[in-house]
Structure 1
Amino acid sequence: MSNWTTANIPDQTGKLAIVTGSTGGTGFETALELARKGAEVVIAARNPRKGEDAMRRIRRAVPAANVRFEALDLASQASVAVFADRLLAQGRPVDVLVNNAGVMALPKREVTVDGFEMQFATNYLGHFALTARLLPLLKAGQARVVQLSSIAHRRGRIQFDDLNHARRYRAWPVYAQSKLAMLMFGLELDRRSAAHGWGLTSVAAHPGYARTGLIGNGPLTGRPVSRAVMGLLYRPFIEPLISHSQQAGALPILMAATEPTVKGGAYLGATRMNELKGPPGPAKAEPQALDTAAAARLWDVTGQMLGVRFAA
């Protein structure tokens, strides 16, 4: 379906959709379009001020939007637990969970309050714990669960002997590991759902090279020389040729979250220029992402690290 657009999104009336990291970028566009199609949307993010602003922008575009903000810091396992407990107490089945939030290539190693490396924790560990804790509601809703990966997963390797990169930290390989982990998680979740009868449809997606704040606020933009190069050459001349808008970047995510013909275990992304840009469609998962033994090992190790499990 190379011509897939937001017009193809089915009616979402009556559905509850949670989108993490949806105050900006592709996450915001995903939340906006789900609200436009009638879903009740939970903006799950850290910053209440940005959350309020995102809700205002959505309601400006969709006056009848049913949208609310819920505080969630994926870098804090306590915050993940509190968020999940709030939703479990409400008891509403979850129809769509989009694990979108992320940080990219932090120039210096940072650790979370739980002692985990920040990129791995925010991009992967937090989403693993969130999905596990919400499993009763996801099962009740026969949910579509979308994990956000990246073309960067191609260079990723799971460093089982140093998952938190305490011995050697390099920004981009660490980011690539986190996005490989997300892709492996999405595929493994679908396999386990089928094996245990959970009824989930687990799909992975990537936005291509979307012009969002995640890239715009990346580590290179903080260096004076890099800022000059970005401003004078890269941004006006090169970037437009190899990237697309955040609205276009959201299309593979929305397709993964809503398209009825997309089956569990699929991986979607941009389909042109080596998946940097273009219409949404099937994406290529690298061999390391398809290693089922490594995926099962990562699942088990992650559960042990976090003290959470998917209760069958």
Structure 2
Amino acid sequence: MSKGWTKSDIGDLSGKVVIVTGANSGLGYETCLALAEKDATVVLAVRNLNKGLDAIDKIKVHYPNANLHAMSLDLNDLASVKRFVESFKSKFNSLSILINNAGIMAPPFQQTKDGFESQVGVNYLGHFALTGHLLDYLKKTPNSRVVSLGSLAAHKIKPEFHNFKGTKKYKALKYYGQSKLACMLFAKELQYRFRQHQIDSKSVACHPGISQTNLFAKGSRKLTRKLTRTSLKLIGQEAETGAYPILYAATEARVRGGEYIGPDGRGGSKGDPIELDIIDELYNEHVACNLWKLSETLTGVTYNFK
């Protein structure tokens, strides 16, 4: 289906407004770089505005005429999510692609400003709230897309969505896997709801394989970071190619909605982006609906599809 697919296969994106969370480094930066090359208007949604501006400067070295905007977004704080959306809507009239990329992995126990375990809060609930606040723009923009990032870490775990505060027997990697499984179930459920309400938006999940990024850098223990960087050099791929599943999910014309895109290599660690069947094995309608209801309650964000 997509053998040999690269960013050169992306068509012209002139006139399309794209939001990329976690955009100043790693997969987010490479995603923005590729989108800028194809003339998209790219909003770099970043926690540290100065780092976002630095990323824009780096991209403009390659594409001086790129239409780029850095805007402050702290997924650790639902009030910041709301402020970001209000600011975005004051500047733009449409949204063609929302890429929910930002994430943290395996930090020591900590909670968000709203009292959620940090990985669940940042990786999933913050993006759930962001997408809900932007739903009106997604609905009114023809053929819009939402891209949610899953992970290999979510492929072999069972859903346990009863303790989003993380206060009992905290295990960092377990919560990371649960946060990414939640993102995957959300992506699939969002697509079902788009279709149910005859909205032509598409929701797609993807995972980057094992990519050489600074995902561990935010709060992880020093030794863990060192060991991880060494391992990534042996089995992982560079951030540029790690971003290909994201870019494929966001731009490929053959995407129908509801797919899960990831590398085709052994173990899914690297390779060309292809559609993966495992999301259908992981998806359970009852679990996904209950997760959705819980997420609306916890974030205070209700999705209006009508």
Fold conserved between structures, TM > 0.5: yes
Query: What is the TM-score with the length of structure 1 in the denominator?
Result: 0.92
Q: Say if 2:217 and 2:225, in contact at 8 Å, map to a contact too.
A: no
Alignment partner, residue 136 of structure 2: 136
258, 261, 274: which one pairs with 1:268?
261
Give the counterpart letter for 1:113 in structure 2: K
Deviations 1:247-304 (A, max 9, x none): 0100000000000001100000111021001111112425663111101110011001
Q: Distance in 2 between matches of 1:85 and 1:157?
A: 36
Q: Say if 1:35 and 1:41, in contact at 8 Å, map to a contact too.
A: yes
Alignment partner, residue 122 of structure 2: 122
Structure 1 counterpart SS, 2:204 = strand
Which is further off, 80-89 or 174-183?
80-89
Q: Distance in 1 between matches of 2:12 and 2:111?
A: 41
Q: Distance in 2 between matches of 1:140 and 1:286?
A: 28
Give the counterpart letter for 1:252 in structure 2: P
Q: Distance in 2 between matches of 1:219 and 1:66?
A: 34
Query: What is the TM-score with the length of structure 2 in the denominator?
Result: 0.94
> Cα RMSD over matched residues?
1.7
- 1:93-172 correspondence runs (5 A): 93-106=94-107, 108-142=108-142, 143-172=144-173
Structure 1 counterpart SS, 2:44 = strand
Percent identity, please: 39
Q: Say if 1:256 and 1:262, in contact at 8 Å, map to a contact too.
A: yes
Shift of 1:217: 6.0
Which is further off, 153-162 or 172-181?
153-162
Q: Say if 1:155 and 1:173, in contact at 8 Å, map to a contact too.
A: no
Q: Distance in 1 between matches of 2:132 and 2:29?
A: 24
2:265 is equivalent to residue 311 of structure 1: no
Q: Say if 1:157 and 1:288, in contact at 8 Å, map to a contact too.
A: no
Q: Distance in 1 between matches of 2:84 and 2:217?
A: 29
Q: Distance in 2 between matches of 1:152 and 1:125?
A: 18
Aligned residues: 303
Give the counterpart letter for 2:266 in structure 1: M
Give the counterpart letter for 1:67 in structure 2: L
Shift of 1:78: 0.3
Alignment partner, residue 199 of structure 1: 200
Shift of 1:91: 4.8
Q: Distance in 2 between matches of 1:216 and 1:240?
A: 16
Give the counterpart letter for 1:254 in structure 2: L
2:283 is equivalent to residue 282 of structure 1: no
Structure 1 counterpart SS, 2:271 = strand
Deviations 1:132-163 (A, max 9, x none): 00011111113111001111112433323313
In structure 1, the gaps of 5 or more residues are none
Give the counterpart letter for 2:289 in structure 1: A
Structure 1 counterpart SS, 2:278 = coil
Describe the shift of the 1:116–1:218 C-alpha distance in structure 2 as closer, same or farther (beyond 3 A).
Answer: closer
Structure 2 counterpart SS, 1:269 = strand
Shift of 1:241: 3.7
Q: Say if 1:156 and 1:179, in contact at 8 Å, map to a contact too.
A: no
